[in-house]
Structure 1
Amino acid sequence: MKKVVFYTILVIFSSCKTSEENTENKPQKKQPNILWIVTEDISPTLSFYGDYTAKTPNLDKIAKEAVVYKNAFAVVGVCGPSRSSIITGMHPTSLGTMHMRTGKDVFSWGKRAYEKTSIQDLEENPVQQYAAVIPEQVKCFTEYLRADGYYCTNNQKTDYQFAAPITSWDENNGKAHWRNRPKNKPFFSVFNFGLTHESRLWKHQDSIQTVNPNKVSVPPYLPDNKDTRETIARHYSNVELMDAQVGEIIKQLKEDGLYDKTIIFFYSDHGGPLPRQKREILDSGLKVPLLVKGINGEKGENNALVSFVDLAPTILSLAGVKPPKYMEGKAFIGEFKSDDRTYVYGSSDRFDEFTDRIRSVRDKRFLYLKNYHPKLPKYKDVGYRKNIPMMAKFLELKKENKLTEQQQIWFQTKTSEELYDCKNDPYNLVNLAENKEYASTLKRMRTALIDFQKDKTDFGAIPESELIENMWPNFEQPKTAKITFNQKGKKVELKSTTKGASIAYIISEKSNQHFNYNSNWQLYTKPLQIDKGKYVYAKAERIGFKESETSSLEIK
């Protein structure tokens, strides 16, 4: 296949206005504080969605003062590709981040080691670890917030399929907190809670279980037995542990007198952790809880379709920053709110050692799936998932032909298309694609996918080994060009010849200093005014590239 070229539009951050600049000719705009509370691997199985199994008093209190979104969807049923869409406002298939997982850039920054693996793509070519090189105009949306005066913190998970650029956060570590911001500076703070992650189904197996296994509901696609019930009860118990962490963050916000001055988002990075939930492109894998507590008193339920690609432009919209045109997401609240969506879209590609390609379209009632490799089974025997305590019994029952018809569906060979009525079939068990009564709906949803794919590259159509060769020729990570300085008196301009690179800098009174990722790096947006006798240290990084070495200049 021919090589793919990333067609790009260069974003020049010097055109972004900081909050300081905005005050020169007009009154400073009011910028709200924004807090994200992010959990992992949860479907909308919470009390404010009608499931009262887990006791979540802290989330319940927030929900009573918030807008609860009833139709919110991740774009992929796993964290890495999903989080790449959240931080960029783009679909993973438009970035080249759709395969789970590309490298080890999961937490914080600085952990940038890439190794050979035993994984193969569909053409049986080797797939090695890499950081995805995404189109050069695409930035982490937090850079736009920082350019507009926000203090941005992330505690602690990134997992974007690429290393978080040093320009993306003011703080990005386990101690990151809005409390560390300069006085009177608005903040955007993220707290990631891992207590509900799939892995906690076995890592917490010996912990106290606060939910009675005999009182949980078992979805019809899972066998109803002791093992299943114990696993489900463990998940709900983990949800209760997570709720306590939410309560601690809210307590801190109130202690600081910021609760009524902060917009609060709560969501999960994708659907639930159980078999036939995580990694699936069905509602069980993509439908998520989402609530937003504003500062204007609005509350209740909202049935609008929301996709994770909408989160980035929405936060910018709330901050009064116009979202860049390249973003595929739509702001669903704020100054730059768009019209409501008709459809949301999902994708499914490589999950660990198993590769496939499926695309989905969802409206408020129907779910359509296009299977590009229908001869492959629905079930993927992912080794990581087999750590779930109930999986051994589940697979044993399959081997013994003791599963019900609904439970067997997961292990069948796919058809080229699937269509589900999510209103009457919430578990997505009855494929209506060949039902003539739904022919017009099938055609409409199929056309919606075709229209979505027009005029854009779906990088999932390219064998992953070839995609890596395009991003990292000869499997060598490209490197960002180092900073050059252009000084005119006290005014210093910083440049990197790498298109799409962002620049970070530190001004110091000392020479020959060494800085790490957690040093006080500032985002460069315009030429700097620096007094004589001081030093400027700077480095550049384009997403997916190695960062440049640090350059320095003494102001004389």
Structure 2
Amino acid sequence: MKNKYNYSQLILLTFFTICSCYAQNNIKTKPNILFISVDDLRPALGVYDDTVAITPNIDRLAGEGMTFRQTFSQVAVCAPSRASLMTGLRPDSTRVWHLGDKFREIYPSTVTMPQHFAKNGYHTVNLGKIFHNYMPDSISWNEPDLRPSQYLQKDWLKRDGETFYIDAEVNKSQAVKRDSLLKLKPVRYADGWNTGPAWEAADVHDTLYYDGAQTELAKRTLTRLANSEAPFYMGLGFFRPHLPFTAPKKYWDLYDAKDIPLAANPNVAKNAPGHTMNSMYELRHYDGFNDIGHPQSDFKMNEERSRTLKHGYYASVSYVDALVGSLIAHLKEIGLYDNTVIILWGDHGWKLGDHNSWGKMTNYNIDLQVPMIIRYPNQENRGAQTFEITELVDMFPSLCEIAGIEVPSYMQGTSFLPLIKDPKRSWKSAAFSQFHRRPKVSADGNRYMGYSINTKEYHYIEWYTWDPKTGTKGELTGKELFDRINDPHETVNIAGNKELSEVTITLSKQLKKGWKQALPHL
């Protein structure tokens, strides 16, 4: 019997086999990416010196990585913030300014972060809220919108993971209210399911709430991906601590509501413009809160409800912390931890009675400042913190650089990798944010755009009339200036102080020059 191959063919076969093995091994050397979003998470974590928060697992992750203490969201509401950080572009470039704007409809050819990683050999998977709720942007993922099997009911496909309760009577009432709402208007936020109590503390296992069930699915998916030849990029979006504050009772039991301090800045900033605050319409959807007024009115939340809401928020944060700990333990068990980049972030902050308000949707730093923690293979300065200014829009180019793939040339953020190597080096001189105040939620019924600049010393905001069709600002209607050193809670707007006129003029010029002029000198 003759040999199947002649000598020259065997040499070629051996050569291509070696090349193939090298290519596969080269792919495997790229780190996996675990991209963890925590919805509505302000820096309410122990590692950020929050003395109330019980978050041992996230704090432990920070101890093995880098904690960014001065990170700012580009917009303090979900859809615009996530569109910005997932595309590496700022809101005036994505033209996603409020919840209803969809970047894929505005710019269909947009390349998102997971798309870019997929083009560079990554297998991309999405669970939970990475883009905005029921807009998973299937184009971005090899495996889009994975959900626990028990939630794959036909009527729930447009329902958000944040809207599920345990109590049977609540579920019945919620369904009745939803049916009534859809008769009035068939297309609604969360498909009409965002009704019910503002909190729940059922005495159940972690996996019986959506985030817990989703974490178990993520662990099973990671086990499957561990056997894959390609590195993975997994987007895992937790829904808590978004309203309603539903979490297993044991996390509520970690806290005593009487020991949780009320907001340090319970009033709207003195001398604030009339359109600076949101109407709190988000909280108003929930049972017992239909009567709450606008923060810039005579409305005041009573102490009992305030304490319960804060209690629920912190219980929800501790619940997510436990799930993150379970996820990381699983990564270690299946041998993926050492070669996985883990980045955890909040999409914007959340007021817990601050500025007489509950929710997000302002240009104040209680809504703009967010946690961002990263841990990756062969990282320098583990356990370090940096107080230099960073922005959520920086994540896209940073993860590309860490993974060793090309950084798209059009990025409007800056890779923070040099800052990890030297946490005390001089970095960005400012962070830039904005907020679109729509007529139906502003105190005076008019439309505005507020542009914000944060330096280490000051926070400055300019408000303008706004044309949403053209995306252009009109008349200047208000200014706000806060001393970040001496008034960190932003209690008094000092833009009108004559002795600070030069500061205001300088910051106004810096705001108009924009983000490019604030970049670090590399």
The answer to whether the superposition gives a TM-score over 0.5 is yes
Equivalent in the alignment of 1:244: 322
**How far off is 1:336 after superposition?**
12
Instruction: Confirm or deny that 1:312 pairs with 2:357.
Output: no
Equivalent in the alignment of 1:294: 376
Q: Percent identity?
A: 27
Match of 1:363 among 455, 468, 476: 455
1:94-133 equivalences in 2 (<5 Å): 94-102=93-101, 133=105
Equivalent in the alignment of 1:62: 61
Following the alignment from structure 2 to structure 1, what is the Cα–Cα distance between the partners of residues 95 and 434?
Answer: 12
Question: Are 1:69 and 1:291, in contact at CA under 8 Å, matched by a contact in 2?
Answer: yes
**How far off is 1:454 after superposition?**
9.6
Question: Are 2:68 and 2:387, in contact at CA under 8 Å, matched by a contact in 1?
Answer: yes
**How far off is 1:167 after superposition?**
3.5
CA deviation vs aligned residue, 1:432-453 (integer Å, no higher than 9, x gap): 2112332222122211221128
Q: Which moved more, 1:199-208 or 1:285-294?
A: 199-208
- Equivalent residue letter for 1:361: I
Local SS of the residue matching 2:342: strand
Equivalent in the alignment of 1:340: 427
Equivalent in the alignment of 1:190: 235
Distance 1:247-1:454 versus aligned 2 partners, 3 A rule: closer
Question: Are 2:431 and 2:515, in contact at CA under 8 Å, matched by a contact in 1?
Answer: no
Following the alignment from structure 1 to structure 2, what is the Cα–Cα distance between the partners of residues 334 and 152?
Answer: 26
1:383-398 equivalences in 2 (<5 Å): none
Equivalent in the alignment of 1:52: 51
**How far off is 1:137 after superposition?**
5.9
Following the alignment from structure 2 to structure 1, what is the Cα–Cα distance between the partners of residues 140 and 513?
Answer: 33
Instruction: Confirm or deny that 1:212 pairs with 2:256.
Output: yes
Distance 1:67-1:27 versus aligned 2 partners, 3 A rule: closer
CA deviation vs aligned residue, 1:46-80 (integer Å, no higher than 9, x gap): 11111121211111211211211110111111111
- Equivalent residue letter for 2:57: N
- Equivalent residue letter for 1:369: I
Following the alignment from structure 1 to structure 2, what is the Cα–Cα distance between the partners of residues 302 and 52?
Answer: 20
CA deviation vs aligned residue, 1:172-191 (integer Å, no higher than 9, x gap): 22256333335232122121
Local SS of the residue matching 1:93: helix
Distance 1:265-1:364 versus aligned 2 partners, 3 A rule: same
Match of 1:227 among 305, 321, 328: 305
Following the alignment from structure 2 to structure 1, what is the Cα–Cα distance between the partners of residues 30 and 341?
Answer: 11
Local SS of the residue matching 1:100: coil
Distance 1:136-1:238 versus aligned 2 partners, 3 A rule: closer
Local SS of the residue matching 2:417: coil
Following the alignment from structure 2 to structure 1, what is the Cα–Cα distance between the partners of residues 418 and 404?
Answer: 8
Distance 1:21-1:370 versus aligned 2 partners, 3 A rule: farther
**RMSD, aligned α-carbons:** 3.5
Question: Are 1:211 and 1:234, in contact at CA under 8 Å, matched by a contact in 2?
Answer: no
**How far off is 1:341 after superposition?**
1.7
The alignment of Structure 1 onto Structure 2 pairs a total of residues equal to 369
Following the alignment from structure 1 to structure 2, what is the Cα–Cα distance between the partners of residues 340 and 231?
Answer: 37
Question: Are 1:369 and 1:418, in contact at CA under 8 Å, matched by a contact in 2?
Answer: yes
1:84-483 equivalences in 2 (<5 Å): 84-102=83-101, 133-135=105-107, 138-160=110-132, 163-172=135-144, 173-174=146-147, 175=217, 177-181=221-225, 183-197=228-242, 199-201=243-245, 208-222=252-266, 225-274=303-352, 275=357, 278-297=360-379, 298-299=381-382, 300-333=384-417, 340-350=427-437, 353-354=440-441, 355-373=447-465, 416-452=478-514
Equivalent in the alignment of 2:161: none
Show structure 2 runs of 5+ residues with no match: 1-18, 148-216, 267-299, 442-446, 467-475, 518-522
Higher helix share: 2
Distance 1:289-1:165 versus aligned 2 partners, 3 A rule: closer
- TM-score, normalised to structure 2, is 0.64
CA deviation vs aligned residue, 1:264-300 (integer Å, no higher than 9, x gap): 1111111025325511111100101111112224221
Question: Are 1:343 and 1:363, in contact at CA under 8 Å, matched by a contact in 2?
Answer: yes
**How far off is 1:415 after superposition?**
6.0
Equivalent in the alignment of 1:458: none
Following the alignment from structure 2 to structure 1, what is the Cα–Cα distance between the partners of residues 486 and 53?
Answer: 25
Question: Are 2:95 and 2:103, in contact at CA under 8 Å, matched by a contact in 1?
Answer: no
**How far off is 1:351 after superposition?**
6.1
- Equivalent residue letter for 1:357: M
**How far off is 1:204 after superposition?**
8.4
- Structure 1 stretches of at least 4 aligned residues deviating more than 6 Å after TM superposition: 20-24, 26-29, 202-207, 334-339
Q: Which moved more, 1:315-324 or 1:346-355?
A: 346-355
Following the alignment from structure 2 to structure 1, what is the Cα–Cα distance between the partners of residues 426 and 83?
Answer: 24
Distance 1:23-1:207 versus aligned 2 partners, 3 A rule: closer
Question: Are 1:318 and 1:333, in contact at CA under 8 Å, matched by a contact in 2?
Answer: yes
Distance 1:277-1:305 versus aligned 2 partners, 3 A rule: farther
Following the alignment from structure 2 to structure 1, what is the Cα–Cα distance between the partners of residues 433 and 29?
Answer: 35
Question: Are 2:31 and 2:403, in contact at CA under 8 Å, matched by a contact in 1?
Answer: yes
Question: Are 2:396 and 2:413, in contact at CA under 8 Å, matched by a contact in 1?
Answer: yes
